[in-house]
A and B are shown apart, each in its own frame.
Chain A
């Protein structure tokens, strides 16, 4: 339907997708995307043509990882499941799209992913990361995780907020085929730097900066923001029954406060475990009311009003599909 925007194939010998097959493969995918779908790209001038940057799109559909890279003027890399390399269908295609496989089964998977991303950025390349962590099932924009902000501080790389719409209709959840000839818009926002939002050495900045980025993504995508993780339901909970403990999250690297105390022993020798959740607190019985109020305030009643983008959203289906 349209010509792909101008593009430079960035050579990065130490990253996946440097081979000739990937080069021509990705070029073909880009051209195909712009032929088969009505792709509108806005703000492409916000993507720097040199140097590192993080691209942080909203996440609605599997095919976001195709449309966003196909809309940018440079290649970008992202972390993907190591399992994709086991399948013949994906083991050539995904690295060509910039996927760096990371084994997520190890105990330090999160650290490995961060280090991998840092390597991409330190090499002066673009890195794509979905701050919501997973696809939004409701169509709303969810609370951002702080990894992108952390990388931005660590690697002194700006964040380019990205908002797109249309991919959910092109490839709804749990479908393999992508419906062609539908519209899709990808908008790149102005670069954001942590130092514009506070002291990069202050750990409080991570959440401040993350929220600022999510706000911009919401403006670009036209989504309503909800302050809950994408993995959780964003409908207001009626509150947990008194005394019920929340679900137990996985301990990132094992251990409890007790074992840490034993391990390091002695008075004053123990500090708060860092990447270890020391214990799962239970919720006070009388807390239920508060949770409901907070959830209700965050959930439905407070709708993000992004006036200038509402018109463009009108045609999009936002019904939850699960």
Chain B
């Protein structure tokens, strides 16, 4: 599948995007994409070129990304809220031939002189041209996207994803899935399209099947609920902090009445959020699992009975094996590192063969660095990141388990645990806690619920914990 042809088959009058007051049909979208394609071709950008797209969840993002794919270039989504120094660094790394700007990225025009790539405001381009150039020929293995992996790991990496990588996942979650996304669905587009989850699951897969996407540029819980009600949204994907805000947002309790699929990804969904949404709106959130490097979906919960703490079951066609550090598969029921083989697995990191070799084998196994366990029915449960494991007296301590126990204390608002060197036990557990709580009381609370080697030996009380917008904790800032 050449992603440049993503929207070609759909009826011209079908609504593709709802962007505020504006409605864009598939016919209009094709016309606008053709016009931008003409501009790119005129600028000499074609097969093997690189097109940056710096836009939020707005029509310009969709037009620019599809135009970039259509001329055969690799598309590089760039977060429009990136601070200037970060933008400069990103452009140095990915070296785009041009960066197409949406409304939310237009601020960068003022800094053009200091940037290494030419900027073009999509709003300045025509929406129709007489004879748009044809979509360039691309093979499935050709590069479609260069994605900057999300910033919780210290070193930013650029994942190379092919047309086939994304197209395969699109098919797996739409036409090839029980209760997959279909042409009659209306999807809430609030997860950022610059992130693989928003890009492939919320934007491209629904476009592929001819669904309608309701764009929401900035997250606002009340506005989301209003968009859902107004446009009869059927499919909502969100990150855990979003679901938390929707659970508490003012508005009627039937706000999600039209929703037939609710999903969460990017970080673990707290069970109280799952329960709050279910109890208030009558909707069960299904979790999924995936990484930028897997385009992203490998497990999900659509079409199966939802287990609130599980990330669901593997998609048809995905192989998942849990292994020990030496690569031996663990016994059924035991935890191990999640190793994946799927047509969605990426081609490697840009200009970083060593990083690629550390996670990807020649025969296509991707070592995720995540620890998980399957239950007897094939549901996957995530445990933690391997590199976050703290080793105390030879025993593995998973920070997530300790944090979840500490968070159960009613006075604790947030908790992050990290390991520090310890002469006797190798490492020891140190807890960073926010909230008005007595140390001795919290220690007693933990000791009742955790094996003694897992109990923090030191508590540090802080006002705020570092949390990324997706809800992931930024642990390295506390080490």
- Which residues does chain B contribute within 8 Å of A284, judged by CB atoms? 357-361, 365, 367
CB proximity to B under 8 Å, residues A276-301: 277-287, 289-291, 294-295, 297-298, 301
Q: Is the CB of B360 within 8 A of A207?
A: no
CA distance A284 to B354 in the complex (A): 10
Q: Is the CB of B331 within 8 A of A146?
A: yes
Q: Is the CB of B381 within 8 A of A206?
A: no
Q: A146-B333, A197-B451 are in contact. Are A287 and B367 (CB under 8 A)?
A: yes
Residue from the list B327, B341, B356 in contact with A245, Cβ < 8 A:
B327
Q: How would residues 362 to 384 of chain B score, 1 for a CB under 8 Å from any chain A CB and 0 otherwise?
A: 11010100000111111111010
Q: Is the CB of B396 within 8 A of A211?
A: yes
| Chain B interfacial residues counted at CB < 8 A | 65
CA distance A150 to B333 in the complex (A): 9
**B16 CB to nearest A CB, Å:** 25
Residue from the list A196, A206, A274 in contact with B377, Cβ < 8 A:
A274
CA distance A268 to B451 in the complex (A): 41
Which stretch, A17-25, A63-71, A221-229, touches the partner chain B? A221-229
Q: Does chain A have a CB within 8 A of B323?
A: yes
- Which residues does chain A contribute within 8 Å of B326, judged by CB atoms? 232, 237, 240, 246, 283, 291, 295
Nearest A residue to B361 by beta-carbon distance? A282
Q: Is the CB of B309 within 8 A of A302?
A: no
**B14 CB to nearest A CB, Å:** 24
- Which residues does chain B contribute within 8 Å of A286, judged by CB atoms? 354-359
Q: Does chain B have a CB within 8 A of A31?
A: no
Q: A268-B316, A297-B426, A305-B424 are in contact. Are A283 and B332 (CB under 8 A)?
A: no
**A243 CB to nearest B CB, Å:** 7
Q: Is the CB of B320 within 8 A of A272?
A: yes
Q: Does chain B have a CB within 8 A of A106?
A: no
Residue from the list B316, B327, B374, B377 in contact with A246, Cβ < 8 A:
B327
**A236 CB to nearest B CB, Å:** 11
Q: Is the CB of A271 within 8 A of B332?
A: no
CA distance A202 to B308 in the complex (A): 10
- Which residues does chain B contribute within 8 Å of A298, judged by CB atoms? 391, 394
Q: Does chain B have a CB within 8 A of A320?
A: no
Q: Is the CB of B325 within 8 A of A295?
A: yes
Question: Size band of the A side of the interface?
Answer: 35 or more
Q: Does chain A have a CB within 8 A of B425?
A: yes
Question: Among B178, B323, B333, which residue has the most Cβ atoms of chain A within 10 A?
Answer: B333
Q: Is the CB of B381 within 8 A of A203?
A: yes
Q: A203-B373, A268-B176, A290-B358 are in contact. Are A281 and B365 (CB under 8 A)?
A: yes
Q: Is the CB of A225 within 8 A of B395?
A: yes
Q: Does chain A have a CB within 8 A of B453?
A: yes
Q: Does chain A have a CB within 8 A of B303?
A: yes
Nearest A residue to B335 by beta-carbon distance? A207
- Which residues does chain B contribute within 8 Å of A243, judged by CB atoms? 362
Nearest first, the 5 A-B pairs at minimum CB distance are: A286-B358, A302-B426, A286-B357, A246-B327, A203-B375
A residues sitting closer than 8 Å to B (CB atoms) are: 145-146, 150, 196-198, 202-204, 206-208, 211-212, 214-215, 218, 224-229, 232, 237, 240, 243, 245-247, 249, 252, 257, 261, 267-275, 277-287, 289-291, 294-295, 297-298, 301-305
- 14 residue pairs from A and B, CB less than 8 Å apart: A145-B331, A203-B374, A204-B373, A215-B451, A215-B453, A227-B391, A249-B329, A267-B176, A274-B332, A278-B319, A286-B356, A289-B358, A290-B325, A304-B394
